Structure 1
Amino acid sequence: MTESGNPSQPVNVSEYDGSQIQVFEGLEAVRRRPGMYIGSTGERGLHQMVYEVVSYAVDEHLAGHAIDVTITADGGIRVADNGRGLPVEAQEPAGKSAIERELTELSFGSKPHAGYGVCGGLGLSVVNALSSRLTVEVHRDGHRWTQEYEKGTPITPLTRNEETGEHGTAIAFMPDADIFETTRYSFATLSARFQELAFLNGGLAVSLTDERPERPVRYHHVDGLKAYVAHLNPYPPSLVHSPAIAFESENEDETIFVQVAMQWNTWSTGGFHSFANSTRTHEGGAHEQGFRTALTALVNDYARRQRQISADDEDITVEAVHEGLTAVVSVKLAHPVFEGSTKTRLSNPEADTYIQKVVRQHLTDWLDHHPNEAAAIIRHIVNASTGRGKW
């Protein structure tokens, strides 16, 4: 990946095999205490099951592939991608297939080669453990492979079927009604999350079909975060500047990829949306702190340099800088560290440091090259700071 930023680089199939799966413990603990793994046994946990499977397909997109999700007529879920396909070879010493290990053993970081993967480490085995039945179908190594499970236990061997030149994985599962308070999926909830994923992964196409009534949707946003901000700021007359500011950067080690889109408006108090590896970080963390710190310092420096505030004036506060600001900050890390099983707060200190550097460099450059828009932005912020109302 380069500074200009294209995270969708092809990855060699040979780099993804069963030896990369790191085992931690069995699945009985998952069925006994499901809330520890998916947050709850209510609607939130039910939909988290889908997100865990979809995260694998998004990882395949980051390697250049795509996703189709279906709410089946019987109330189950089917997630299909045209990626490389789960590995099928047998693994020693147990002699299990790599697919069976992926579906029956808790693992962490099952795709370290995929770069900035979305999955947080719970993955397919948790979904399998909490499903009354699950079927996996893989197109790989010249054949179609299938296997069926009940409550996390295989009931058929991995079967090699007809020859095929296709590639990819399809997983269909039915959440266990004995575990979940409800097993009815919300089309609106899933649709909103998949639209979010399409914004966060520019170029990714995600389709969702509901067979209960049939009402398919498809999300595809080439402009990524810039389109996301436009979606969040739907009233052009209220915009302080247009179009939105957007930039991205990757560090030299290719371990952090940062994307930012932002735009001030006069119709709202603003909204901040942060993500780490495509997961919404509702409690913020290092990346949010780095963005806020750099943005506040930069606005104050720029305003004084342009004499829109004097050297003797007090610093503009964080609150004033964010008044009317809609911002989306997305970081993708090779080794993310989250607080809590639900991954709502990012802890990586390097994310704070790097995003400060990126914001200072790219936003300063944007302001210098757009003096009229920059003046309007600073005027809007100064008005918010001095309590004269919105500009």
Structure 2
Amino acid sequence: MSAEGMEYNAADIKVLEGSEAVRKRPGMYVGSTGERGLHHLVLEVIDRAVSEVLAGRAGSVDVTLTADGGVRVVDDGAGDGESRGPDLEAQLTRFHLGSGPIGRRTTVIAPFHMGLFVANALSSRLTAEVRGEGTRWVKEYARGAEVEQPDAVGPLTGDAGSATGSGTTISFWPDTEIFETTWCSFPVLAERFRQLAFLNRGLAISLTDERPVSGPRRVLFQFPDGVRDFVAALDAEAGACPHAEVFGFEREDVRMEGTMEVALLWGYSRGARIRGFANSLATHEGGTHLDGFRDGVVDAVTAFARERDLPAASDLDARADLIVESLTAVVSVKLDQPEYLGATRTLLGNADVRVCVAEAVREHLGDWFAEQPKRAEEVVDRVVRAGRRD
């Protein structure tokens, strides 16, 4: 090719803005145009509703997969249309990196955390409704562009597909021009909602599927004991020890600017099942919260063995990896300033978190061992026997 044919200047540059940019490169915003990206789109909308609950402005979230291929997300917040409507409009029509500030009282449900603007742009149709004080604020969009003006009506009538009472409803239809499939998986979404309910004990979240010809199906998730329930469920799913005692605690630490919730049990099967979460997002690659957890467990077990002058105490230093063998645990931290390493936020990097979690686990687990010395001796004995098998 000649140099003349390769000329390039400002006239060749096309600047894409707003929803046009999102629709041109959807994978940059939701990861893919396949099923994975479709579910991320749904989670972007649910992110806002769950954050309303955690902020104390709502009590529950109801998600429905409608028979016509849409998704309806309803929360029961205060729904002051005069103020909440314009705020919601801004989220739907202006690009924000994230649907709002990340903090200990918010969730990071969708890994890309791009907000409602992206969901609006990638939906063939979206309707937003805010209800409160007997009125409704409604706006509709088509592929990110407004098609109706705000409409305040009252009193609320409870039309088909519309919720009554105060709150917010966002109904949207993923665009078939963008996505390879617009069929959301009920099991995939249900498992994510279940996880969210475990990690946020004040949250009640339901999922209804109106698509089956045999009739609607619905699940509701709410767990009063939080991550303790999570650990018990993980252990039961593994068929390990259904009656094992779950140890857990919660703690706030100003040094890491956040809170931690930890639960664990030693089962009777080999292979650790330890899951970490930061602001409700699974950290599959690990991070400082899991490093701190392991540090704390090893220190607590080793300290107990030495204080009791157990015969195995001298062997534990060389068997730190075996101390967490057969552990089932969940470590959930919620931080004002989480430092995720990588674009998908699956590795936590806050250095202070490791120190704080290790210290808390060491202290709380040490107290538990002191209260239940026989149980602690069983743990130490199991570590030693596991080392001999290896």
Alpha-carbon distance change, 55 to 316 in structure 1, aligned in 2, over 3 angstroms: farther
| Other-structure match for 1:346 | 348
Structure 2 CA distance for partners of 1:87 and 1:98, relative to 1, 3 Å: farther
Identical positions, percent: 44
CA 81–253 in structure 1, closer or farther in 2 if over 3 Å, else same: farther
Summarize the Cα distance change of 1:268–1:163 in structure 2 as closer, same or farther, 3 Å threshold: farther
1:175 shift after superposition: 0.8
Computing the radius of gyration over CA atoms, which structure comes out larger, 1 or 2?
2
Q: TM-score, normalised by structure 1?
A: 0.84
What does 1:1-391 correspond to in 2, within 5 Å? 26-64=18-56, 65-85=59-79, 88-89=82-83, 97-108=86-97, 110-112=99-101, 115-119=104-108, 121-140=113-132, 143-163=135-155, 166-213=165-212, 214-234=216-236, 238-239=240-241, 242-252=244-254, 255-309=257-311, 312-313=314-315, 315-387=317-389
**CA 1:361 to 1:86, structure 2 compared with 1: closer, same or farther past 3 Å?**
farther
Contact 2:250 2:260 (C-alpha < 8 Å) held by counterparts: yes
Closer, same or farther: CA 309–201 of 1 in aligned 2, 3 Å: farther
Conservation of the 8 A alpha-carbon contact between 2:235 and 2:242: no
For structure 2, which runs of at least 5 residues remain unmatched after alignment?
A: 1-16, 157-163
1:109 Cα deviation (Å)? 5.5
Question: Kindly tell me: are residues 109 and 36 of structure 1, through their superposed partners in 2, closer, same or farther at Cα, counting changes over 3 Å?
Answer: closer
Paired with 1:123 and 1:70, the residues of 2 have a C-alpha distance of 19
Q: Which amino acid aligns with 1:66?
A: S
In the alignment, the residues of structure 2 paired with residue 86 and residue 69 of structure 1 have an alpha-carbon distance, to the nearest angstrom, of 21
The SS at the match of 1:339 is coil
Q: Deviations over 1:26-66 (max 9, x none)?
A: 33332222222222221111111121221222212213321
Work out the CA distance in 2 between the residues paired with 1:66 and 1:257: 23
In 1, Cα distance between equivalents of 2:189 and 2:242: 32
- State the AA in 2 paired with 1:100: E
Q: Determine the C-alpha separation between the residues in 1 that align with 2:313 and 2:326.
A: 25
Contact 1:316 1:382 in 2 (8 A): no
CA distance 1:313–1:295, change in 2 (3 Å): same
Contact 1:296 1:316 in 2 (8 A): no
Question: Which aligned runs of 4 or more in structure 1 are off by greater than 6 angstroms?
Answer: none
CA RMSD of aligned residues (A): 2.7
Distance change (3 Å), C-alpha of 1:386 and 1:111: same
Closer, same or farther: CA 241–131 of 1 in aligned 2, 3 Å? same
Q: Distance in 1 between matches of 2:242 and 2:76?
A: 42
Matched letter for residue 297 of structure 1: D
Q: Is the CA contact (8 Å cut-off) linking 1:87 and 1:99 kept in structure 2?
A: no
Seen in structure 2, the aligned counterparts of structure 1 residues 109 and 43 have a Cα distance that, compared at 3 Å, is closer
Structure 1: gaps spanning 5 or more residues: 1-24, 91-95
The residue that corresponds to 1:22 in the other structure is none
- Aligned CA distance change for structure 1 residues 331 and 37 (closer, same or farther; 3 Å): same
